[in-house]
Amino acid sequence: MDDCIFCKIIEGVIPSKKVFENEDLVAFEDLNPVAPVHVLLVPKRHFANLYEMSSTPQGLETLNSLYKALPELVRACGLESKGFRLINNCGENAGQTVMHVHFHLVGGIPLGPRII
């Protein structure tokens, strides 16, 4: 999609530090990490947010593919023993700033207070 930062990263037009890739998704380091490990897990197909993604059969298939890849990604990031958070911000009230669905994989230190 035009004017989407993450589509441009997926196309290779904007550089990124990739840590994982398969036919459906890519994972790259967040530009402004909040923890020693802060990776964005991004489907190659453009969906604006998790609500839109999970509202279509193709989106649900991609979501399944994303969760299938999670163990390998977690191991690649060295997070398998001490754990992590997987976070999705969906829409305005959640503070989503890039309108291409993505999950933050965060870990590498104790992550502090939870709101839920």
**46 contacts Zn ion (rule: CB under 5 A):** yes
- In whole angstroms, give the CA distance from residue 103 to residue 74: 13
**Can you tell me which of 45, 100, 102, 104 binds Zn ion, judged by CB under 5 A?**
100
**98 contacts ligand 5GP (rule: CB under 6 A):** yes
Q: Taking every pair of C-alpha atoms in the chain, what is the biggest distance, in angstroms?
A: 39
DSSP state of 1: -
Least distance between ligand 5GP and beta carbon 78 (Å): 19
Partner from Zn ion, ligand 5GP, none binding residue 100, C-beta < 5-8 Å depending on class: Zn ion
| Residue 50, both tokens | 């998790």
Least distance between ligand 5GP and beta carbon 6 (Å): 8
SS3 content of the chain, % helix, strand, coil (to 5): 25, 20, 50
**7 contacts ligand 5GP (rule: CB under 6 A):** no
Q: Are 16 and 29 in contact (CB under 8 A)?
A: yes
**Can you tell me which of 7, 19, 48, 90 binds Zn ion, judged by CB under 5 A?**
7
Q: Are 104 and 30 in contact (CB under 8 A)?
A: yes
Partner from Zn ion, ligand 5GP, none binding residue 46, C-beta < 5-8 Å depending on class: Zn ion
Residue ranges in contact with ligand 5GP by CB under 6 A: 5, 14, 16, 28-32, 40, 89, 95-98
